Amino acid sequence: MQKAQDAGKYHVYVFEGGSRSGKTYGLIHFFLIYALQNPSLQTRIAIARKKATWLFATLWVDFVNILNSTGLMQYCKVNNTLHTVQLFSTTFTFVGLDDAQKLHGLTTDIVWINEAMEATKTDFDQLEQRTSRFSVLDYNPSAEQHWIYDSVCQRPDCYFDHS
Protein backbone atom coordinates (compact mmCIF):
# COMPACT_ATOMS: atom_id res chain seq x y z
CA MET A 1 0.00 0.00 0.00
CA GLN A 2 2.88 2.37 0.70
CA LYS A 3 3.95 2.45 -2.96
CA ALA A 4 0.38 3.11 -4.08
CA GLN A 5 0.02 5.89 -1.55
CA ASP A 6 3.33 7.44 -2.55
CA ALA A 7 2.05 7.62 -6.14
CA GLY A 8 -0.41 10.25 -4.93
CA LYS A 9 -3.15 9.41 -7.40
CA TYR A 10 -5.50 7.27 -5.31
CA HIS A 11 -8.28 8.30 -2.96
CA VAL A 12 -9.58 4.82 -2.18
CA TYR A 13 -7.68 1.58 -1.65
CA VAL A 14 -9.40 -1.80 -1.98
CA PHE A 15 -7.85 -4.98 -0.57
CA GLU A 16 -9.48 -8.26 -1.47
CA GLY A 17 -8.26 -11.61 -0.21
CA GLY A 18 -9.24 -14.84 1.44
CA SER A 19 -9.30 -15.54 5.14
CA ARG A 20 -5.85 -15.43 6.73
CA SER A 21 -4.33 -13.76 3.66
CA GLY A 22 -2.80 -11.09 5.88
CA LYS A 23 -4.97 -8.11 4.88
CA THR A 24 -5.99 -7.06 8.38
CA TYR A 25 -2.56 -7.43 9.98
CA GLY A 26 -0.92 -5.74 7.01
CA LEU A 27 -3.28 -2.78 7.22
CA ILE A 28 -2.85 -2.45 10.98
CA HIS A 29 0.91 -2.37 10.49
CA PHE A 30 0.57 0.17 7.66
CA PHE A 31 -1.48 2.52 9.86
CA LEU A 32 0.88 2.17 12.81
CA ILE A 33 3.85 2.97 10.57
CA TYR A 34 1.87 5.90 9.14
CA ALA A 35 1.41 7.22 12.70
CA LEU A 36 5.09 6.69 13.53
CA GLN A 37 6.30 8.42 10.35
CA ASN A 38 4.02 11.41 10.96
CA PRO A 39 4.36 11.99 14.71
CA SER A 40 3.40 15.67 14.59
CA LEU A 41 0.70 15.48 11.89
CA GLN A 42 -2.70 15.54 13.57
CA THR A 43 -4.50 12.57 12.01
CA ARG A 44 -7.87 11.02 12.75
CA ILE A 45 -8.33 7.48 11.50
CA ALA A 46 -11.76 5.87 11.76
CA ILE A 47 -11.79 2.09 11.69
CA ALA A 48 -15.25 0.69 11.01
CA ARG A 49 -17.14 -2.54 10.54
CA LYS A 50 -20.85 -3.15 10.00
CA LYS A 51 -21.57 -4.14 13.60
CA ALA A 52 -19.71 -2.68 16.57
CA THR A 53 -19.79 -5.99 18.44
CA TRP A 54 -18.03 -7.72 15.53
CA LEU A 55 -15.47 -4.90 15.31
CA PHE A 56 -14.61 -5.00 19.00
CA ALA A 57 -14.42 -8.81 19.07
CA THR A 58 -12.05 -8.97 16.10
CA LEU A 59 -10.20 -5.90 14.85
CA TRP A 60 -10.01 -4.09 18.21
CA VAL A 61 -8.45 -7.22 19.76
CA ASP A 62 -5.99 -7.64 16.87
CA PHE A 63 -5.04 -3.95 17.03
CA VAL A 64 -4.36 -4.03 20.78
CA ASN A 65 -2.45 -7.32 20.47
CA ILE A 66 -0.21 -5.83 17.77
CA LEU A 67 0.40 -2.72 19.89
CA ASN A 68 1.46 -4.99 22.75
CA SER A 69 3.61 -7.33 20.65
CA THR A 70 5.46 -4.47 18.93
CA GLY A 71 6.09 -2.56 22.15
CA LEU A 72 4.08 0.42 20.91
CA MET A 73 1.47 0.22 23.66
CA GLN A 74 3.76 2.19 26.00
CA TYR A 75 3.39 5.21 23.65
CA CYS A 76 -0.41 4.98 23.43
CA LYS A 77 -3.33 6.44 25.30
CA VAL A 78 -6.12 3.86 25.15
CA ASN A 79 -9.74 4.53 26.03
CA ASN A 80 -11.45 1.15 26.30
CA THR A 81 -14.87 2.75 26.81
CA LEU A 82 -14.76 4.96 23.71
CA HIS A 83 -12.61 2.44 21.80
CA THR A 84 -9.97 4.98 20.85
CA VAL A 85 -6.20 4.73 20.70
CA GLN A 86 -3.91 7.74 20.46
CA LEU A 87 -0.39 7.09 19.19
CA PHE A 88 1.51 10.38 19.18
CA SER A 89 -0.72 12.77 17.22
CA THR A 90 -2.74 10.04 15.47
CA THR A 91 -6.08 9.05 16.95
CA PHE A 92 -7.65 5.75 15.93
CA THR A 93 -11.41 5.61 16.54
CA PHE A 94 -13.18 2.25 16.26
CA VAL A 95 -16.83 2.57 15.28
CA GLY A 96 -19.61 0.22 14.25
CA LEU A 97 -21.64 1.25 11.23
CA ASP A 98 -24.70 0.29 13.27
CA ASP A 99 -24.09 3.33 15.51
CA ALA A 100 -25.77 5.96 13.33
CA GLN A 101 -25.44 8.72 15.92
CA LYS A 102 -21.65 8.34 16.05
CA LEU A 103 -21.37 8.20 12.27
CA HIS A 104 -23.34 11.36 11.54
CA GLY A 105 -21.02 13.49 13.67
CA LEU A 106 -17.86 11.78 12.49
CA THR A 107 -15.22 13.71 10.60
CA THR A 108 -11.97 11.98 9.86
CA ASP A 109 -8.85 12.14 7.75
CA ILE A 110 -8.76 8.45 6.87
CA VAL A 111 -11.41 5.76 7.07
CA TRP A 112 -10.90 1.99 6.95
CA ILE A 113 -13.94 -0.24 6.51
CA ASN A 114 -13.00 -3.75 7.57
CA GLU A 115 -14.99 -6.58 5.97
CA ALA A 116 -16.48 -4.00 3.63
CA MET A 117 -18.80 -6.46 1.87
CA GLU A 118 -20.93 -6.34 5.03
CA ALA A 119 -21.37 -2.58 4.61
CA THR A 120 -23.81 -0.85 2.31
CA LYS A 121 -22.95 1.65 -0.39
CA THR A 122 -24.74 4.25 1.73
CA ASP A 123 -22.43 3.41 4.66
CA PHE A 124 -19.41 3.94 2.43
CA ASP A 125 -20.79 7.13 0.87
CA GLN A 126 -21.55 8.61 4.30
CA LEU A 127 -18.04 7.88 5.55
CA GLU A 128 -16.25 8.93 2.38
CA GLN A 129 -17.90 12.36 2.35
CA ARG A 130 -16.63 12.91 5.91
CA THR A 131 -13.06 11.81 5.05
CA SER A 132 -10.43 14.32 3.95
CA ARG A 133 -7.49 12.14 2.85
CA PHE A 134 -8.34 8.60 1.75
CA SER A 135 -10.49 5.53 2.32
CA VAL A 136 -9.53 1.87 2.66
CA LEU A 137 -11.81 -1.12 2.13
CA ASP A 138 -10.85 -4.70 2.84
CA TYR A 139 -12.89 -7.88 2.50
CA ASN A 140 -13.01 -11.57 1.77
CA PRO A 141 -14.69 -11.97 -1.63
CA SER A 142 -18.02 -13.59 -0.84
CA ALA A 143 -20.16 -12.30 -3.72
CA GLU A 144 -19.73 -12.13 -7.47
CA GLN A 145 -21.75 -8.93 -7.69
CA HIS A 146 -21.41 -6.14 -5.18
CA TRP A 147 -21.46 -2.33 -5.03
CA ILE A 148 -17.71 -2.33 -4.33
CA TYR A 149 -17.00 -3.86 -7.74
CA ASP A 150 -19.42 -1.57 -9.57
CA SER A 151 -19.02 1.74 -7.73
CA VAL A 152 -15.53 1.72 -6.24
CA CYS A 153 -13.18 -0.59 -8.15
CA GLN A 154 -14.12 1.09 -11.46
CA ARG A 155 -13.07 4.53 -10.26
CA PRO A 156 -9.85 6.00 -11.71
CA ASP A 157 -8.76 7.00 -8.18
CA CYS A 158 -9.09 3.42 -6.87
CA TYR A 159 -6.12 1.19 -6.11
CA PHE A 160 -7.05 -2.52 -6.09
CA ASP A 161 -4.99 -5.33 -4.60
CA HIS A 162 -5.82 -9.03 -4.39
CA SER A 163 -3.86 -11.09 -1.86
pLDDT one-digit tens code per residue, 37-89: 999 999 999 999 999 999 999 999 999 999 999 999 999 999 999 999 999 99
Q: Please answer whether residues 89 and 43 qualify as being in contact, where contact means their C-beta atoms are separated by less than 8 angstroms.
A: yes
Q: Rounded to two decimals, what is the model's pTM?
A: 0.92
Q: Is the pLDDT of residue 2 over 90?
A: no
Residue 38: closest CA among 82, 90, 85, 109: 90
Longest CA–CA separation in the chain, Å = 44
DSSP category for residue 90: E
Residue 88: closest CA among 104, 101, 108, 72: 72
